[in-house]
Structure 1
Amino acid sequence: MGKNLVIQTDFGLSDGAVSAMYGVAISVNPTIRIFDLTHDIPQYNIWEASYRLYQTITYWPEDTVFVSVVDPGVGTDRLSIVVKTVDNQYIVTPDNGTLTHIKKHIGISEARIIDESRNRLPRSGESYTFHGRDVYAYTAARLASNVISFEEVGPSIDVGEIVELSKTIASIEKGVIIGNIDILDIRFGNLWTNIGRELFEESGIKYGESLEVTISNSTNQLYKNSMTFGRSFADSHLGEPLLFVNSLDKLGVAINQGSFAKAYDIGTGANWKVSIRRVPKRG
């Protein structure tokens, strides 16, 4: 029985690029099961590609094969690799930082360079700008369909050599919880931080407490206000801000039935800092 194939790109769906990847996979195996993770990663945003893999991968069965193509370095000397996670999933991707969150939070047991002399779409050797179709979709479909084994992908490389993006660790300093805004819950405009629920528990903060939240980027402070730490959106009134634990067991910042990101023009990444502390007592 073949494995599932899940595809993520920054291609969008306004042209035929994703359809071409589907066609290559189906040409390898007409019965292959193909699913979309997303094709709406912002162009060239490797960080978001890394996070969306982390957000999704643990909910898929063992042996699922993922393809992630956010590849501003296509045609350069960056490696094309397939990794096996500690949970026996496979990811086919350029080695450009896309595996940062998987490597840090899930774990990678093995990695192999794609041998393009064996694992490349036939008659595509003169194409250098669509590895998603010619190398990644083709190799992933062969792996998911058991046409090749993981060992037949190509030569192994040291997992420690896999490229990682800079990633800040959340911490507690003098009673203040400090972290980053990693990503947006795009449709609803909620902020997802890198602050884990366990860190909150370590600080002794309980549900229902009022907390002061400050958000800044590398140049400006954009938000500072108090809000409630709630179990759900029902713990706040319409239009009120709140802190909550999201689906990845991280702290989120939201407006009840509103977009926090749009309301305060908040972005994501290493330069976007959030700090949380108990509201100082007056007097």
Structure 2
Amino acid sequence: MNGLLVLQTDFGLSDGAVSAMYGVALGVSRDIRIFDLTHDIPQYNIWEASYRLYQTIAYWPENTVFISVVDPGVGTARKSIAVRTKSNHVVVTPDNGTITHIKKYIGIEDVRLIDEQVHRLPGSAHSYTFYGRDVYAYVGAKLASGKIAFHETGPEISPEEVVELPVSEAVIQDGAVKGNIDVLDVRFGNLWTNIDRSLFLQLGAQYGDLFEVTIENSTRQVYKNIMTFGRSFADSHLGEPLLYVNSLDKIGVAINQGSFAKAYHIESGNKWKITIRKVDGKNCQ
């Protein structure tokens, strides 16, 4: 491995949980370098943990080890796994769906069940509520430092056995593209959809074109309006909505210098649907 360890949790930074994980990892080896992906995953939100890994992992050097701990099933029969991706990164995590987006969009090369009788912080065998410290930080640091090889973490299982969350595909239907709001750009309140730029362009989209955007959740229509497809936020006036291509080459929805999510009380996940239809600008005057 390359000595790089990246942590993601839903723990926040208001107490000592993340610091304890750092301490365990550095106790394994002081030669590793530890970085934070985020510790602000919404509590218990496995879907968002899966998406943030997918959003980030490809930009790190090969052999970087990631630890992702969003673990509402801690202490139950859920398994702990180490995953080698086809991009040659390693993820140490509960087997609860955290690998969903990586499996679908990047691919999995190898999966190991972590042998928790062998690989855990010495003296922690009677604790069942802090696997992030006692198992994942310990195993991740051993892998990152090269003190154990990937295959030594435990027995191999098929990638098909890994728990996956349901993922919907964006489609073109009745002259419109339909998809989901996968996640929010939390800091700025933009909506990130699962609609690839290439699919969106099949509508004949060009910068400056107008589109009718409809957003629904599982019970009602939340938003319907016409907005411009812009190259950047500067292609709209202050406070105006727009469509744009985000950093993952997917379609995003934003308000110029405002929070779209907050303005219209929009969330993310499989129940949040978006429909985008090209309109004739002449009829929108």
Tell me which interval the TM-score lies in, with the shorter structure as reference length. Answer: over 0.9
Give the CA deviation at 1:250: 0.5
- Aligned mates of 1:212, 1:67 — CA distance in 2: 40
> Aligned residue for 1:154?
154
Give the CA deviation at 1:196: 0.5
The SS at the match of 2:102 is: helix
> Aligned residue for 1:121?
121
After TM superposition, the runs of 4+ consecutive aligned structure 1 residues lying more than 2 A away are 280-283
Deviations 1:155-213 (A, max 9, x none): 00000111110111000001110000010001100000000001012222111100000
The SS at the match of 2:105 is: helix
> Aligned residue for 2:189?
189
RMSD: 1.2
1:34 to 2:34 alignment: yes
> Aligned residue for 1:217?
217
The SS at the match of 2:129 is: coil
> Aligned residue for 1:59?
59
The SS at the match of 1:273 is: strand
The SS at the match of 1:41 is: coil
- Aligned mates of 1:217, 1:116 — CA distance in 2: 41
Structure 1 residues not aligned, in runs of 5+:
none
- Aligned mates of 2:43, 2:283 — CA distance in 1: 47
Give the CA deviation at 1:2: 4.1
- Aligned mates of 2:171, 2:205 — CA distance in 1: 14
- Aligned mates of 1:93, 1:30 — CA distance in 2: 22
> Aligned residue for 2:84?
84
Give the CA deviation at 1:3: 2.1
> Aligned residue for 2:266?
266
Deviations 1:92-114 (A, max 9, x none): 00000000100000101100000
Calculate the TM-score normalised by the size of structure 1: 0.98
Q: How many aligned positions are there? A: 283
> Aligned residue for 1:163?
163
CA contact (8 A) 2:180 2:274 kept: yes
- Aligned mates of 2:170, 2:181 — CA distance in 1: 10
CA contact (8 A) 2:74 2:131 kept: yes
The SS at the match of 1:76 is: coil
Structure 2 residues not aligned, in runs of 5+:
none
- Give 1:237-248 correspondences, 5 Å limit: 237-248=237-248
> Aligned residue for 1:108?
108
> Aligned residue for 1:236?
236
- Aligned mates of 2:253, 2:59 — CA distance in 1: 24
Fraction of identical pairs, as percent: 70
- Aligned mates of 2:204, 2:165 — CA distance in 1: 31
CA contact (8 A) 2:3 2:31 kept: no
- Aligned mates of 1:32, 1:5 — CA distance in 2: 7
- Give 1:16-35 correspondences, 5 Å limit: 16-35=16-35
Give the CA deviation at 1:23: 0.4
Deviations 1:44-77 (A, max 9, x none): 0000000000110000000000000000000111
- Aligned mates of 1:134, 1:2 — CA distance in 2: 22
- Aligned mates of 2:118, 2:180 — CA distance in 1: 42
Give the CA deviation at 1:30: 1.2
